[in-house]
Structure 1
Amino acid sequence: MSCDKFRSFAFFTAVLCAASCLNLFAANPPVAEKKISFHQQIRPILQAQCAGCHHPRNPEGSYVVTEFSQLLKGGESETTAIIPGQPDKSYLVSLITPKGAEAEMPKAKAPLSQEQITLIRTWIQQGAVNDSPQKIEYRFTQDNPPTYSAPPVITSLDYSPDGKLLAVAGFHEVLLHAAEGNQLLGRLIGKSQRIESVRFSPDGKFLAVTGGTPAERGEIQIWDVAKQTLLKSFPLTYDTLYGASWSPD
């Protein structure tokens, strides 16, 4: 084979290889970064680790993590908690990132795992998008109480130890009635959709409530009966909770 023919053959082969490589890259484009789901991946972390202290009824630091707009906004520090696209400038990230062996949030708990922190950072980097179904965002409050087109199923009721009050489970709430005359004295409106059990403490000062949202979350609520205020909310598990009870002492 002459030199000219060899050069032509080599050039033709190089062109074929280059074309093959281009086709290969076209057929196998770079894999895009997997989108993090707020509803499926971030929300459960916040519910399990943060919502017990940062719920609407009595939020520590005036910071609420159960309402998306307030989750982004922040609390009494007036520092923006989440800046979409900028995890390093998001105050929440600095709070959950351990300094040494401890982190500022969650309070009095072990720091979030590195995997959980990375998920939150990546979600913020991707734009902090809320992909929750609309129903998850809807919450009843004292100013926007539940309304009933039909009597709700009564899943639990309990008399106070002195026999003066009757607590009745409702939808998103517990109704406090006078035992005599059935006068409605109060509506204890909380986060849980279903209320499965209500129990007065032995001294009658507190009311324990269990419930949740099926296949999503469980919750224990502790209420101050006299003030009708929520003292504590404990998000637990990923399903509804039943069977509240108090230790005798």
Structure 2
Amino acid sequence: MLELLGLPEQASAHAAEIDRMIVLVHWLMAVLFVGWGTFFIYTLIRFRASRHPRADYGGVKSHFSTYVEVGVALVEAILLVGFAIPAWANRVDDIPNESDAVVVRVIAEQFAWNAHYPGADGVFGRTDIKLVAAENPIGLDRTDAAAKDDITTINQLNLPVNRPILIHLTSKDVIHSFSLNQMRVKQDAIPGVSFPVWFTPTKTGDWEINCSQLCGLGHYRMRGFYSIKTQQDYDAWLKEEVAALQATR
């Protein structure tokens, strides 16, 4: 079924759970399609004009259709209350502690993804909208002590494998949609609001960051990349970035 749906590879701890839900929803849609399609064909034949040349203004006397409608409503209510809401609650309540996770800020803009890492001290430096410029798209204040070791990248997100990832997602301008298909992650980025996005990568690799929300004329080129690295490679990348920062001082 997964092959028929054309889903991308699974590369996060919760990806299989998401895919199972997608498959289940498609089976339910198939059952509803066949059921209502059969009923529609039945009504076309049962109430065709040749059999009823004159309209019957009294209507159907049977309550069968009412029972069917009530039954469908009950099944949908059971699915919502007994399945969908508990599954959603389990997911949204599972935010990892920042002390146990790799924490990154992602700031969307037309038409790029900006990543902000807190550095070795684990504290994000101060940002100021007055400092936003082409060479400083998030307005990071390098005079702040906490910002001196902060790392920023554009359209490139580097993360370690097999560790919880917590991303604080927001936008500078319009609504964007942050999509990591292999991680089964998708979340709107809205100006003035920071949303937590979390997952645990289980495979190393390089994939694309997609914007799934039409965000302007340049939407087609809002394309970033994310790399899931081994812990050793991730640590080596951090050291390279810190060395590059020190060289510019």
TM-score class normalised by the smaller sequence: under 0.3
Using the size of structure 1 for normalisation, the TM-score is 0.22
TM, length-normalised to structure 2 = 0.22
Q: Which has the larger radius of gyration?
A: 1
More helix by share: 2
